[in-house]
Amino acid sequence: MAALGPDEIARRVARELPGGAVVNLGIGIPTRVANFVPPERGVLFMAENGIVGVGPRPPKGGEDRDLINASREPITALPGAAIFGHADSFAMIRGGHVDIAVLGALQVSARGDLANWTVPGIGKGGIGGAMDLATGCRAVYAIMTHLTKEGDLKLLEECTYPLTAPGVVTKLFTDIAFIEFTPEGPLLREAAAGLTAEDVQRASGPRLRAAGPLGVLAREEGA
C-alpha cells in the first residue's frame, strides 16, 4: 500500500488551503502544514496559545524559546505577526473569525462527526480547545491514518469514541485518501497511488461515492 507519511499528508493539506485564509493548526501532524505553505500565498496560521502569523519550523539551532505552538514545538513568527493572550485567542475562535481548523482525528463518522480527544478505557486525554475549534471555525479539515495500528476502521458509520463535535468535518485527509463530506455523504476525491476506490472502500465503514475521475494522492507533491 502506497500510504503517505506525516509530512506528505501535511503537504497535501497545504495545497488545499485557500489564499488569505486564517487557519488554526491543531497539535500533531497539523502543525507541519505551515512548513509547506509559502508566505506569498497569504495564509495566516494561528496557534491557539495566542499567535497569528505562524511561519515554518525554525532550523535546528535557530529556535526562540518564547515562540512555540500549542504542541510546545518551536515556531517562527512572520513579519507582522500578532501575539496575544489565551482569552483573546478563544474569543477569535468562538467569534467565528477563524476560517479553517486543521485537527487530528481518532475517528470520523459518515456525517462528519469528529472524535479526537480520548480513547475509552485508556484514561488519558482532555478535550482542551478542540471543541471550541471544531464548532467555532467555518470549516474543519481532519487528519488521521485510515486504520488503527491494529487494522481497525477509523472512518465509521457512527463514531464509537466520545465526540468532540457532531457534523463538523468538511474534508478528511488520511494516509490513503482525500475525502470531502457533502450533503449526499462522503465523497472520495483522491486515493493513494496504486489504490482504487474499492481498496479505500474496504478500509472504510460508510459507503463512499467516488469522484470521476478519481484523483491520485501522490507521495511526492509541491505545496
* Catalytic site residue from 16, 48, 180, 221: 48
For residues 19 and 223, what is the distance between their CA atoms, to the nearest angstrom?
12
Asked if the bond preceding 213 is cis, omega within 30° of 0, the reply is yes
Q: Which of 99, 137, 102, 93 is nearest to 21 (CA)?
A: 99
Q: Is position 48 annotated as part of the catalytic site?
A: yes
Whether 209 and 43 have beta carbons less than 8 Å apart is answered as no
Per the CB < 8 A criterion, the answer to whether 105 and 175 are in contact is no
3-state secondary structure of 199: helix
Active site (catalytic) residues: 48
